[in-house]
Structure formats: structure tokens, C-alpha cells
Amino acid sequence: MRLSSVDAAALGVGLRVGMPLADARAQIGELTVVPHDPVLDQDWLDRLAQGCARYSPLVALDAPDGLILDIAGAEHLYGGEAELVRDVERRLARLGMTLRHALGPTADAARALARYQTRPAPDEAQAIRRLPVAALELEAEATTALVRAGLKTIGDLASRPMANIAARFGADAAMALRRLLGDAPSPLDPRIALPPVVAERRFAEPLGSTAHATKVLAELAGEAIEALGERGKGGRHFRATFFRSDGLARSIAIETGHPTRDMGLVMRLFAERMDSLADPLDPGFGFDMIRLAVPRLEALGATQLKLEGGAVRAANESAAIDELADRLATRLGRGRVRRFRPADTHIPEQAQLELPAADAPPPLPWQEPDPGEPPTRPFHLFDPPQPIEVIAEVPDGPPHQFRWRRQAHAVRRYEGPERIAAEWWRRRDNGGLTRDYYRVEDAQGRRFWLFRHGLYDEKPDPRWYIHGVFA
């Protein structure tokens, strides 16, 4: 086992990353060792990134231990770059994080400066030129080759023709150099895309109570809905982010089945969501900023409400059902409130789709029943089908008696087989076995849907299953 990361005190006494744990223990008697958990690290970095969304909406993760913020146009809110950096440092220090930062003209330049800068420089351009070639983060051999060739800094490299660098060290090296120097774009991959409608409020004094925060959220919802109304849009997805003064943040999101500008509905859904949180919203030292973003918009015309008449009443009733579906989906999870849609296949268990009510597509026609015929598909379907023991008079004949859930059923009436072949055009292995379905009725009048999985010439001893129960 080796050390994957050491803190400042450990560095001070001579421990280094990559050192065997046994050696470190031999050097320092009372060493505190914590197992490395990359997933937790990633989680924590993500939470820090969420907290940093207060400075700029464009925050990108630089795993495993970096964050890149695009603060262009946002620094004046804090009274300049230096003030903003001080604020970041102060908040992260409260969380026990040590910070190494740099400002740069491009994301890659800032990143390289933060990670590789060793000597001070009069300005940014000079600082970049003084970076060691390791800042290009090429493969170890390429870096060694560069240093052997006497090219120790980015400045040395930049003074050579780009074509020669590409020829000697590969196109990657040339590209990395151009990115560092700002000649090629270095796009950010923000953690969360910029939402089209945002309302936010900052507080001089942190809010200590959740109730007060909810009140502010309602005001923000009012502002956001006004902005939506001006654009003729309605929101489908609302996300409230509560920034705590210690630098962390908590996001709570709701979703609606139809675009809405109904403030009451939005706030009811937020209340529902907060009630159903496993760990309640914790103000900690207080919230000093609340942001409401509407990441998903859809067109919604102006509406006229509260007219007398049947059409409006019907519209109100369907709106009431939609609201119920939204509320239950917010409480239970969106996948637990579902609608049914047909799927174009004859494999019974795939013939219906159960989709979240919030994003079910418009209805498609279902298979019409044949006049005068009893239903050929069951009311309840078992997925996966349940194995049963069947006695048939002749091997590939209809079932005579079967045993399901430790109970024997004598077959009185049957119809079949309805032969359903596997979808050989979809799968390379011809899709599996053919099924022979029988509709059977037992002595008590219960109707079942049984099938034999495989024909006798496909398989020596095909098994029987019950796939559904008819009304």
C-alpha cells in the first residue's frame, strides 16, 4: 500500500505521495491513515463545485482535486478578482480545505498556473512562459525528451516553430502548447448547463431558518414566473439551490408534467419535495444566497382562467389530475407514477410501456378487441413468467392439469396454441425459443394464460410457465 495523498503537516515531516505505507509508518510513529476512497472524493468535489456556483454559473470539475470557474464578468460582484479569490479562500478554509489558485486568460492556462507555477512573474503572459514543460501534461517520455532537448519551460518551447514541435513530439504536444498560450480555444465542460431563467437573492446576514428561506423562495418563484410570462413560456423543471455561508450548497428540484406558470403549484411541489427529503434542509450557519433556476422551458400561451362553462371545468379537472400526478411523482419519485403506452411488438411482456406520467408521449391506439371474441390477452401479467408443472395428455398437446403456487388446477376448457415466435430479426441468436400459449380455465372458473417455452424439435424437454391471469 502506498500513500495516495498527504496533508501539509505530513509534507513538513518528509512524507511524499507514492511512498510505501510501511516506510511512512517507520518514519512517523503516530501516523493517521485514512483509506483512499475516490468515489467519496469525487462526491465531495461535486459538492464543493455546487457551492462555488455562487461565484459563477459556469463551474467545471477538474478531477480529482480541481475546480475551474469561469468568472469573466462576475468578479465585479465581489469588488474585483482579488476580493473574489479571498472570499473563495475564506469559505473553503472554513471547510478545512487548503487552496491553491490561479487566474488565467483561458481555462487551461489557469489550470496549469495553479498546478505548476513555482516562480513569481510580473504578469500572466510571463508566468505562463516560465512554467515548466511538465505543465503540458504529456506522457512521461515526451516530457523527458523535451527536457533532454534543452526545452525546460513553456517559453523555450513557444519560441520554436510549431510545425517542428508537432513533428518531433506529436500533434498532442503542439495542441496542448497552443491551448496554454491561448492560441487555441480551451472550452469548459460546466457541471450544470446555464439555465435560461434564473432568479437569485443574496443576503448580507445569513438566514438561519428554513421557513424564512422558503418564503424567499416563494418571492423568487414569483420573479421567475414573471420572466417566464414575458417570454410566453412555462417551466417544466425548477431547481432551487440554497447556498450556505460555509461554502456548501443544497439543490432541490421539482418537475411538472406540463409547462406551468402557476406559482401556487410550484410552491406546493417544493413543499412536497422538502417534506419527503430523507435528510431535511439544514441551514447550518445560515443561507447567504438562494437561487431559483428554470432549466427546462416549454411554450405556454397566455391563459384565461375562471370562466363559467363546461369546457373550462373539464380543463380544470384535467389540470387537477395533472397536479395530483406531479405531486405524487414529487413525493414518491417520478418513475412511480406511470401511464401505459402500447409498444409495437408481439412479445407479450414488451407490448406495453409503463412510462413516467411526466413524460408520457401522446396516446397511441391500442389493439381493438375482436367483436364477440373473449380477450386473448390477460388482465394481469407476470413478468418474468412463473414456472409451473404441467401434465399434458400428449407431449406437444394442451395442458391437462397444472400446479402453480403449490396448488393443483384441473383444466376444464382450453384454447390454443397461439404460437408466438421469438423476434429472430432483432437478435443474432435468433431470439430464443418459440412459445405456445394456451388460454385455459380450471374447475373453479379461473382463467389462466400458460405457455410452453420451446417446441419439441427446438428443445428436448420444454418447460411450462404461467404468464398471466384473465378476468
Partner 1 sequence: MRESSPLLAGLRKRIARLAADGGFESRRTEGWLASGHASFDAAIGGGLAIGRCHEFFATDALDATSAAAFASLIALRTPGKAPLIWLRTSDAGKRTGHIYAPGIAELGGDPDRLLLVETADPKMLLACANDAIRCTGSAAVIVESWGKFPLLDLTAGRRLALGARDAGTTLLMLRLNAAPAPSVAETRWSVAAAASHALEANAPGAPAFDLELLRWRGGAAPARWRLDWNHDEQSFREAALSGALLPLPARRAMASHGAAAA
Nearest to partner 1 of 158, 469 (CB atom): 469
* Strand, coil or helix: 291: strand
Of the candidates 150, 186, 146, which has an alpha carbon nearest to the alpha carbon of residue 168?
146
User: Under rule CB under 8 A, which residues in 57-76 are in contact with partner 1?
Assistant: none
Identity of the residue, 126 or 345, whose beta carbon is nearer to partner 1 in the bound complex: 345
Min CB(277)–partner 1 separation in Å: 15
Q: Of 324-363, which residues contact partner 1 (CB under 8 A)?
A: 324-325, 327-328, 331-332, 336-340, 342, 348, 351-352, 354, 357, 363
Shortest CB 372 distance to partner 1, Å: 4
| Interface of this chain with partner 1, residues 389 to 428, rule: CB under 8 A | 407, 412-415
Residue from 267, 263, 54, 294 nearest 197 by CA: 294
Judged by CB under 8 A, which of 147, 381, 422, 455 binds partner 1?
A: 381
Nearer to partner 1, 49 or 411 (CB): 411
Q: Which is nearer to partner 1, 370 or 429 (CB)?
A: 370
**CB-nearer residue toward partner 1: 224 or 440:** 440
Contact status, residue 220 vs residue 292, Cβ threshold 8 Å:
yes
Part of the chain binding partner 1 (CB under 8 A), chosen from 21-29, 201-209, 280-288, 316-324: 316-324
CB 76 within 8 A of CB 55: no
* Interaction of residue 382 with partner 1, rule CB under 8 A: yes
Cell of 283: 441551514
Say which amino acid occupies 264: G
- Element holding 387 (H helix, E strand): strand 380-392
What the block records as the C-alpha cell of 96 is: 478545512
Which window, 95-103, 177-185, 230-238, 377-385, contacts partner 1 (CB under 8 A)?
377-385
Task: Print burial letters for 34-45: b (CB count within 10 Å at least 16), e (below 16).
Answer: eeeeeeeeeeeb
Select from 375, 419, 426, 458 the one that contacts partner 1 (CB under 8 A). Answer: 375
What residues have CB less than 8 Å from 5, skipping those under 6 apart? Answer: 17, 36
Q: Does 44 bind partner 1 (CB under 8 A)?
A: no
CB closer to partner 1, 247 vs 417: 417
Number of residues that bind partner 1 (CB under 8 A): 57
Q: Quick one: which of 30, 205, 344, 373 contacts partner 1 (CB under 8 A)? A: 373
Residue spans of beta strands (DSSP E) within 54-169: 59-62, 66-69
At 111, give phi and psi (nearest 5°): -65, -45
323, 451, 452, 465: residue in contact with partner 1 (rule CB under 8 A): 323
Beta strands per DSSP E along 25-142? 59-62, 66-69
Task: Read off φ and ψ for residue 222, nearest 5 degrees.
Answer: -60, -45
Q: What is the rounded CA–CA span in Å between residue 408 and residue 388?
A: 10
Residue number, 201 or 339, with CB nearest to partner 1: 339
- First-to-last C-alpha distance (Å) of the chain: 64
254 touches partner 1 (CB under 8 A): no
Binding site for partner 1 (CB under 8 A): 316-318, 320-321, 323-325, 327-328, 331-332, 336-340, 342, 348, 351-352, 354, 357, 363, 366-369, 371-383, 407, 412-415, 439-441, 444-447, 468-471
